[in-house]
């Protein structure tokens, strides 16, 4: 990987790299056309797009529950056990989060009540690279939050079937209905509904650029969890870090795809060189070495600075999806981190565990959106309804000011709605 030894140069490079979606007029036009066709033609458009993009003509968009049961029975026992462990840990983490964060306050006066969303749609990549982990990371928290119905869309494989591991994960997560639809057309179907696919309240899940642009375009018609770009990690390390572990974690991140970003920021030139050598050696033994090499060349780097303060400043500037603190007394720096999707403390808190099994959702803000965004969590699946329960004492106490403000805005009817009550109260009315 390229090594940058100048703090100022690193600031410039990281600022340019930490960007979200780049506009592409032609691609946006294509996605808009897909959405419009699905809105207009419904199931027929979905079947046509599935044949065009996935190479298979389906007899039915919805996956039969018997097929889901068969897939569940066929899954390797070790894989099934791993999925079950992951699901249980995700449920436990988000149940704790629910107890901590969600409390109604709808008593006399002013308060709020909390309601789960009625129906959400989950998009799970599932064609050439099925991702059952992403399905669990969305559906399980949604179910814990109390969502009544969860709809899954996932593209078919060339055989016309949905990947068995996706169906097994869907059954385990309590998915209500599964549809064999991928791409922007799946997002459109969930947002607007078709003859077969029910309209949802929120569309969740990562996907390719077509999926991401479609989510952006339907936002407002439905809610979305976020717009997710290529995966990112920044590892902050000092001379106490294990170079082999750091290299392995950077390689794992780069494996996500050629657009993934794997960055080491360190105070140790010796560690930087050791990590670089480890990467070169280990890369030769990896099956996806071509993808990893491209990722490291395009968006990977090692930055050397002279203080931990500088490493934290650069990390906050980038606002990475994953931020790993592999330094002496790592917990002491937690409070100083401002921008990150998920924060990993110490070299034993490896990112791969969170990718699959630790418990928090791995659906995280990317492209600098950790400056204002959060990981997918229990709050993504609930809404607050403000509850107003006032009495005549409140009208006496607040009404005059409300009338003054209404008239200042030129809203006469607003003012009179409160003034008529104040008049009755002044005359001794109940």
Domain residue extents for the chain: 3-20+229-358, 25-224, 391-426
Same fold, 25-224 and 391-426: no
Lowest mean pLDDT among 27-31, 125-129, 234-238, 383-387: 125-129
* 20: confidence class by pLDDT, cuts 50, 70, 90: low
Q: Is-contact 188 49, C-beta < 8 A?
A: no
Residue 146: DSSP 8-state: T
* Structure tokens, 414: 């607003």
Q: Is-contact 383 146, C-beta < 8 A?
A: no
- pLDDT of 128: 61
Question: Residue 131 pLDDT > 90, yes or no?
Answer: no
**Residue 1 contacts by C-beta under 8 Å, 6 or more apart in sequence?**
250, 262, 264, 276, 279, 296, 297, 300, 301, 302
Local structure of 364: helix, strand or coil: coil
- pLDDT of 22: 65
Local structure of 224: helix, strand or coil: strand
Single out the residue of 259, 248, 254, 314 nearest to residue 288, CA to CA. 254
- pLDDT of 429: 60
Q: Which CATH number fits domain 391-426: 3.40.50.2300, 2.60.120.260, 1.20.5.1300, 3.30.300.30?
A: 1.20.5.1300
Residue position matching structure tokens 């809404």: 383
CA 351 to chain centre: 16
* CA dist 92 → 135, 360, 377 (Å): 16, 9, 12
C-alpha dihedral sign at 194, 200, 204, 210: positive
**Cα angle 374, 257, 260; round to 5:** 45
Q: Is-contact 161 187, C-beta < 8 A?
A: no
Which of 256, 322, 347, 362 is catalytic? The answer is: 322
In percent, how much of the chain has pLDDT > 70?
Answer: 97
| pTM score of the predicted model | 0.92
Burial class (CB in 10 A: 0-12, 13-18, 19+), 288: middle
**What is the average pLDDT across 310-330?**
96
* 107: confidence class by pLDDT, cuts 50, 70, 90: low
Single out the residue of 204, 230, 253, 257 nearest to residue 369, CA to CA. 230
Residue 133: DSSP 8-state: H
With residue 317 as reference, give the H or E element that holds it. helix 308-318
Classify domain 25-224 at the CATH superfamily level: Nitrogenase molybdenum iron protein domain (3.40.50.1980)
- pLDDT of 104: 76
Burial class (CB in 10 A: 0-12, 13-18, 19+), 237: buried
Which of 232, 321, 347, 351 is catalytic? The answer is: 321
**What is the average pLDDT across 186-191?**
98
* Structure tokens, 83: 């999925």
With residue 183 as reference, give the H or E element that holds it. helix 183-192
Classify domain 3-20+229-358 at the CATH superfamily level: Nitrogenase molybdenum iron protein domain (3.40.50.1980)
pLDDT in tens, 143-167: 999 999 999 999 999 888 999 999 9
**What is the average pLDDT across 24-35?**
93
**What is the average pLDDT across 279-289?**
93
Radius of gyration from C-alpha coordinates of the chain: 26
Q: Is-contact 202 120, C-beta < 8 A?
A: yes
- pLDDT of 412: 96
**What is the average pLDDT across 190-217?**
96
Residue 322 falls in the annotated catalytic set: yes
Mean pLDDT taken over the chain: 93
**What is the average pLDDT across 315-333?**
96
* 355: confidence class by pLDDT, cuts 50, 70, 90: very high
Residue 362 falls in the annotated catalytic set: no
Identify the bridge partners of residue 150 per DSSP, sorted by sequence position.
Answer: 120
- pLDDT of 98: 94
With residue 73 as reference, give the H or E element that holds it. helix 65-74
* Structure tokens, 164: 């068995």
* Structure tokens, 303: 């930055």
């Amino acid at each position: 990987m390229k090594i940058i030894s100048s703090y100022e140069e690193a600031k410039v490079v990281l600022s340019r790299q930490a960007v979200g979606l780049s506009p592409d007029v032609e691609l946006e036009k294509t996605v808009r056309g897909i959405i419009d066709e699905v809105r207009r033609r419904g199931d027929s458009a979905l079947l046509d797009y599935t044949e065009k993009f996935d190479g298979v003509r389906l007899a039915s968009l919805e996956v039969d529950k018997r097929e889901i049961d068969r897939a569940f029975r066929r899954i390797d026992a070790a894989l099934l056990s791993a999925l079950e462990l992951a699901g249980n840990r995700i449920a436990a983490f988000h149940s704790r989060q629910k107890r901590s964060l969600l409390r109604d306050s709808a008593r006399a006066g002013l308060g709020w009540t909390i309601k789960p969303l009625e129906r959400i749609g989950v998009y799970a990549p599932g064609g050439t690279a099925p991702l059952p982990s992403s399905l669990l990371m969305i559906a399980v928290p949604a179910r814990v939050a109390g969502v009544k119905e969860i709809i899954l869309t996932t593209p078919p494989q060339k055989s016309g079937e949905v990947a068995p591991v996706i169906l097994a994960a869907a059954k385990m997560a309590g998915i209500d209905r599964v549809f064999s639809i991928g791409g922007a057309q799946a997002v459109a179907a969930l947002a607007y509904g078709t003859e077969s696919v029910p309209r949802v309240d929120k569309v969740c899940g990562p996907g390719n650029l077509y999926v991401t642009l479609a989510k952006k375009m339907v936002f407002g018609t439905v809610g979305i969890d976020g717009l997710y770009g290529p995966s990112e990690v920044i590892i902050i390390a000092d001379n106490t870090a294990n170079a082999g572990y750091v290299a392995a974690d950077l390689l794992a991140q780069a494996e996500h795809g050629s657009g993934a970003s794997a960055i080491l920021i360190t105070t140790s030139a010796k560690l930087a060189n050791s990590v670089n050598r480890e990467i070169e050696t280990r890369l030769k033994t990896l099956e996806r070495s071509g993808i990893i090499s491209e990722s490291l060349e395009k968006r990977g780097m090692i930055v050397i600075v002279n203080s931990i303060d500088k490493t934290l400043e650069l990390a906050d500037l980038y606002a990475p999806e994953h931020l790993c603190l592999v330094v002496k007394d790592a917990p002491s720096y937690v409070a100083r981190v401002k921008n990150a999707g998920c924060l990993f403390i110490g070299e034993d808190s490896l990112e791969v565990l969170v990718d699959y099994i630790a418990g928090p959702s791995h659906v995280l803000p990317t492209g600098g959106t950790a400056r204002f965004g959060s990981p997918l969590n229990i709050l993504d699946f609930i809404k607050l309804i403000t509850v107003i329960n006032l009495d005549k004492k409140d009208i006496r106490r607040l009404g005059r000011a409300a009338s003054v403000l209404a008239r200042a805005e030129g809203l006469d009817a607003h003012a009179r709605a409160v003034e008529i009550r104040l008049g009755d109260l002044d005359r001794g009315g109940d």
